Chains A and B, each alone.
Chain A
Amino acid sequence: MDFIRVLLSRFRGLFGKRKLDGDLEEELRAHIDLAIAENMQRGMKAQKARTMALREFGGLTQVKESYRIQRGLPWFEEAARNIRYAVRQLRKSPGFTVTAIITLALGIGAATSVFSVVDAVLLKPFAFRDPDRLVVLREVQDEAGNERFLVPDNYRHFMRLKNDSKTLEDAAIFRQYGMSISPTGDHPRIVGTVTASPNVFAVLGVRPMLGRGFVNSDAEKGAANVVVLSYEGWQTFFAGDTKAVGQTLRIGGEPATVIGVLGPGVRFPQIALAPKIDFQEGAQDALLYQPFVPGDRDLSADTGNFNYKAIARLKPGVALAQANAELDELQKAYTLSAHLSMHLGAALTPLAQDVASGVSGALWLLFAAVGAVLLIACVNLANLQLARAVNAEGETAVRAALGASRGQLVRSRLTESMVLAIAGGTAGAALAFGGVRLLLALAPADLPRLDEVNVSLPVLAFSSGLSIAAAIVFGVLPALRSLRVAPQAALKTNQTRAANTQQGQRTRGLMVAAQVACTVVLLIVTSLALRSFSRLMSQNRGFDSNRITLAQVDLFAPQYGDFSGNMKAVKLSFADRTLAALNQMPGVQSVALTSVAPLTGETWVDTISRPDHPVPPEQEPRINVRWVNPGYVPTMQIPLISGRNIAAADRANSYVVLISERTAREAFGGEDPVGKRIDGLVPDDKHPMTVIGVVADTRINGLKDTAAMVYVPYWAFTPWTLSFMVRSTRPSDALIPEMRRAIWQIDPQVAIPMLKSMDDQVSESVAADRFQAMLLSGFGAAALLLALLGVYGVLAYSVTLRRREFGIRIALGSGKSALIGLVLRQATYPVLLGTGVGLGVALIALRWVRSLLYQTPVLDPLAIGCSILLLFVAAAIAALIPARRAASIDPMKALRTE
């Protein structure tokens, strides 16, 4: 209580000082007057009475001083004074201030925003119960040569593993689809849907917020159609209405009853079918959950039908390796006892690792890059601060000579560093928030868990703490050192400064070398990433994306049936009518139909078996099947190598295939494949097929690799997703609305989830690589800028210190170029040293970058050469500015000042 009252009263004492001083003055005068009066009453003379009164009072000034100190908050007043002084000092040297604040902001902002993404994608646990115990279960196929491929799950195998395992607590099988939904009876849209066994919520450990989850009877054949909504789905389709449970939603044209709603933050993880297969199905967030009802094929097929994903929960205390070994054994034993034609095992991957597997390398690289930037920033700050402290030595000495205590001097330097740190820290935090937004805007849409990215406060605290600590430590340390110098010595500036310069110059040189080393590594990595990206974009793709417009159409409505009730004629009619309508549009040169939109990864993977050349099933070449029209090859401008293209005449007998060169090589070796027969590829149809032609390889599934393709006429089988590609003389912008109108004129109840130019599709398919290259370039540029500032700062400072010396040199007849050379040489050693160290570090570190590059050797001489050249040029420019200033010193002025 007393303490607070005292503090408050002292705080009041900070204000209205003049009146308080007047009061004190008056009170003390009254004291003296009263004493004089009493003394005179006792018979003293006026003069004596006054002297006595003053003597008895004691030191008037000391009393006033201690009274004043006690009245206010002296440390507060000193701090306020220090802040005013620091701000004034900083404003006096705007170059230093701006550089330091930019350095702090760059370091803090970049590190925090990148780490926030790393945190959300790689580190933050999922919002499920005990997410560490969740694993993804896949089957493993052993191929010749001890190669093991992860493959998706077969339903029968999954059920057997789930029932026999003693290490799994529970497991759920599921698929992710896009389902068409039209809540307002409008054109349908495609939303992410998870179809899973009824225990999926129990496995994940989440409970619906409203209503209920699935029960086993929901997944029985003929059960009522039910759906559980994600929180976002509930917001989208029912605007968060609490009475949504019990209402009906039409999914793919079929009514389904809403039985439950999940809470906010429950997001179904994006799990790939298998690592080799690019993730593409259900890439959108899951808004709907439906129970998985196994079909006849699921219950009977034992070798094919690897179409499912499975997520399992380990029993508490079970190690991953233990469960892995158990399941692998179980599956191997089953393969043998059931005499399956393939060798199968099983493998588990921790959920978090599986979800991030495709991006973790790239993200860690970015994080390392940003760590290097942070390091450079800290070194830069230290350097700036050291230079400044030495600069301020003379002033410190003056203040010490005038009676400032050591504590006061240190506190004053500390305050200046803190003012800088707070300004830079604030700018850095702002940059971090902006940077996260920027990253989200730039990031490829399929980066997992992107919607969970937020500025991570612990990281913000860490990176700002680090750079602020650097600013403060290096601001205060030199101040402590300069205090050891006696003021008299410091005031005789020349000797002391020269001494300080020698020693400080070496430290600062080393710091510049460290910066240069980091920058060299970063620049090399950046240029490698850029080289890799430009190679990816400039290589031959085997098809021409120019002037093609792409529309994907999903036939998810009851009239188009599904695998169990194949409404072949309806789908075929839709495809035919749409092709005809698109051909009618003005300016159209040709129209192609394919079953899978280009650049969406491997899908419809099958194997080729040749009746004339049987091989064991695991040695059959894997191929991608595409259902196309005769216009596909000319529209994509794929060169025909041999044989002929699919023709209209094949409609009557559509068991013909076109194969790509790679398929020809892998399945037929040196033989001529044209005219050869292969086993049927049409679902539920064993009719053999004839190879009628070979076309060139294309990078149609992804720009990084050619694909082994088999093209089959869509007359043999028409899938439920159709991609129409129109080659036209008119731009995509004009075609897009016309194509949409044409398609919906034929059936307004089909969904069009993709409608864009093929060039956009190509560009989006490399979004991740572009993201990486762009960010690395940003960090490379930041590092280069910081290193440049570092070199410049050190030289500019040393030129200022050596003005007198340069003046004398000029007076003695030294030429301008000699002086410039003198200063440049000073920069040479740290830059060369740093480059050497940087190259050494790069040689070791680049090993980890190799897997992230596309067909680019890590020791690419061009990339390394360019990086070093760029650095040298930048360093030369940074050094030349102070060097020229040194050369233009007026000797008369230089010798007169100081």
Chain B
Amino acid sequence: MGENKSDVLQGTLDLMVLKTLEAMGPLHGYGVARRIEQVSDNGLSLNQGTIYPALLRLQQRGWIQAEWGVSETNRRAKFYSLSRIGRKKIAEETENWERIAGTMARFLAPSS
């Protein structure tokens, strides 16, 4: 279906979006992208555009919802916010991610 990124990366991006929305409240796409860049300290070479398929995916799952609003610069923009399901999923996804990260860490640790 035209998805050519690995599932891990996809899941990672999804979780970043969720955490961003959790921390910042309702936010437009540009805001989400900027926030992810800032938090990752530009360590992630991410095309800002790629967050839109991620936003759509989360929306289709019903984890986030969108509505039109007005930005701080008085520009009409679509604002995303966490849904009830999304809030519940964050914990689950976080745990998932930590397990994977932990496993990876063990692989990457210098073997004695």
Give A residues with C-beta under 8 Å from B.
2, 5-6, 9-10, 23-24, 26-28, 30-31, 33-35, 37-38, 56-60, 62-63, 65-67, 69-71, 74
Q: Which residue in chain B gives the minimum CB-CB distance to A63? A: B49
Question: 0/1 per residue, B38-74, Cβ < 8 Å to A?
Answer: 0000000001111011001101111000000001010
Given contacts A30-B78, A56-B48, A57-B48, contact A71 B73 (CB under 8 A): no
Residue B106 is within 8 A (CB to CB) of chain A in the complex: no
Least Cβ–Cβ distance between A32 and chain B, in angstroms: 8
Asked if B60 contacts A63 (CB within 8 A), the reply is: no
CA distance A26 to B69 in the complex (A): 12
Which residue from A6, A30, A56, A66 sits with its C-beta under 8 Å from B77? A30
Q: For A30, list chain B residues within 8 Å (CB).
A: 28-30, 71, 75-78
Most chain B C-beta atoms within 10 Å of own C-beta, residue among A26, A27, A69, A74: A27
Least Cβ–Cβ distance between A72 and chain B, in angstroms: 10
Which residue from A6, A23, A60 sits with its C-beta under 8 Å from B49? A60
Which residue from A58, A59, A62, A71 sits with its C-beta under 8 Å from B56? A71
Least Cβ–Cβ distance between B29 and chain A, in angstroms: 5
Asked if B75 contacts A9 (CB within 8 A), the reply is: no
Residue B2 is within 8 A (CB to CB) of chain A in the complex: yes
Question: 0/1 per residue, B72-99, Cβ < 8 Å to A?
Answer: 0101111000000000000000000000
* A-B contacts, 5 listed (Cβ < 8 Å): A34-B28, A34-B30, A58-B49, A70-B56, A71-B56
Residue B1 is within 8 A (CB to CB) of chain A in the complex: yes
Q: For A60, list chain B residues within 8 Å (CB).
A: 49
Which residue from A27, A33, A74 sits with its C-beta under 8 Å from B78? A27
Give B residues with C-beta under 8 Å from A.
1-3, 28-31, 33-34, 47-50, 52-53, 56-57, 59-62, 71, 73, 75-78
CA distance A5 to B62 in the complex (A): 7
CA distance A56 to B33 in the complex (A): 10
A26-B78, A33-B75, A66-B3 known, 4 other contacts, Cβ within 8 Å: A30-B28, A34-B31, A34-B71, A70-B1
CA distance A31 to B60 in the complex (A): 21
CA distance A38 to B47 in the complex (A): 17
Asked if B29 contacts A9 (CB within 8 A), the reply is: no
Most chain A C-beta atoms within 10 Å of own C-beta, residue among B30, B56, B59, B73: B30
Q: For A33, list chain B residues within 8 Å (CB).
A: 73, 75
Q: For B28, list chain A residues within 8 Å (CB).
A: 30-31, 34
CA distance A578 to B61 in the complex (A): 91
CA distance A56 to B34 in the complex (A): 10
CA distance A59 to B1 in the complex (A): 18
Asked if A57 contacts B60 (CB within 8 A), the reply is: no
Asked if B29 contacts A31 (CB within 8 A), the reply is: yes
Asked if B30 contacts A66 (CB within 8 A), the reply is: no
Asked if B61 contacts A28 (CB within 8 A), the reply is: no
Asked if B48 contacts A58 (CB within 8 A), the reply is: yes
Which residue from B2, B49, B59 sits with its C-beta under 8 Å from A59? B49
Q: For B78, list chain A residues within 8 Å (CB).
A: 23, 26-27, 30
Asked if A67 contacts B56 (CB within 8 A), the reply is: yes
Asked if A67 contacts B53 (CB within 8 A), the reply is: yes
Asked if B73 contacts A34 (CB within 8 A), the reply is: yes
Asked if B49 contacts A10 (CB within 8 A), the reply is: no
Which residue from B48, B49, B76 sits with its C-beta under 8 Å from A26? B76
Q: Which residue in chain B gives the minimum CB-CB distance to A60? A: B49
Q: Which residue in chain A gives the minimum CB-CB distance to B66? A: A27
CA distance A593 to B56 in the complex (A): 94
Asked if B75 contacts A70 (CB within 8 A), the reply is: no
Which residue from B1, B50, B75 sits with its C-beta under 8 Å from A58? B50
Given contacts A27-B29, A34-B28, contact A57 B49 (CB under 8 A): yes
CA distance A179 to B62 in the complex (A): 76
List the 8 shortest-distance A-B pairs measured between CB atoms, nearest first: A58-B47, A63-B49, A30-B77, A34-B30, A69-B2, A58-B49, A9-B60, A31-B30
Q: Which residue in chain B gives the minimum CB-CB distance to A68? A: B2
Most chain B C-beta atoms within 10 Å of own C-beta, residue among A23, A26, A67, A71: A67
CA distance A57 to B3 in the complex (A): 18
Asked if B71 contacts A2 (CB within 8 A), the reply is: no
Most chain B C-beta atoms within 10 Å of own C-beta, residue among A9, A31, A33, A37: A31
Q: Which residue in chain B gives the minimum CB-CB distance to A69? A: B2
Given contacts A6-B61, A35-B30, A56-B47, contact A67 B75 (CB under 8 A): no
Q: For A62, list chain B residues within 8 Å (CB).
A: 49
Q: For A10, list chain B residues within 8 Å (CB).
A: 60
Asked if A66 contacts B60 (CB within 8 A), the reply is: no
Q: Which residue in chain A gives the minimum CB-CB distance to B59? A: A9
Least Cβ–Cβ distance between B1 and chain A, in angstroms: 6
Q: Which residue in chain B gives the minimum CB-CB distance to A6? A: B60
Least Cβ–Cβ distance between B87 and chain A, in angstroms: 15
Least Cβ–Cβ distance between A751 and chain B, in angstroms: 77
CA distance A332 to B28 in the complex (A): 102
Asked if A34 contacts B60 (CB within 8 A), the reply is: no
Given contacts A27-B77, A30-B77, A69-B1, contact A2 B49 (CB under 8 A): no
CA distance A53 to B62 in the complex (A): 30
Asked if B47 contacts A2 (CB within 8 A), the reply is: no
CA distance A390 to B49 in the complex (A): 46
CA distance A71 to B53 in the complex (A): 9
Given contacts A6-B60, A70-B2, A70-B57, contact A63 B75 (CB under 8 A): no
Q: Which residue in chain B gives the minimum CB-CB distance to A75? A: B1
Asked if A31 contacts B48 (CB within 8 A), the reply is: yes
Asked if B50 contacts A5 (CB within 8 A), the reply is: no
CA distance A67 to B52 in the complex (A): 7
Which residue from B47, B53, B57, B73 sits with its C-beta under 8 Å from A37? B73
CA distance A559 to B62 in the complex (A): 89
CA distance A63 to B48 in the complex (A): 10
Q: For A2, list chain B residues within 8 Å (CB).
A: 61-62
Asked if B61 contacts A34 (CB within 8 A), the reply is: no
Which residue from A26, A34, A59 sits with its C-beta under 8 Å from B47? A59
Q: For B59, list chain A residues within 8 Å (CB).
A: 9
Asked if B77 contacts A34 (CB within 8 A), the reply is: yes
Asked if B77 contacts A70 (CB within 8 A), the reply is: no
Q: Which residue in chain A gives the minimum CB-CB distance to B29? A: A31
Q: For A71, list chain B residues within 8 Å (CB).
A: 56
CA distance A149 to B6 in the complex (A): 83
CA distance A30 to B79 in the complex (A): 11
CA distance A6 to B28 in the complex (A): 22
CA distance A6 to B29 in the complex (A): 21
Q: For A9, list chain B residues within 8 Å (CB).
A: 59-60, 62
CA distance A33 to B56 in the complex (A): 20
CA distance A9 to B30 in the complex (A): 24
Q: Which residue in chain A gives the minimum CB-CB distance to B78? A: A27
Q: For A34, list chain B residues within 8 Å (CB).
A: 28, 30-31, 71, 73, 75, 77
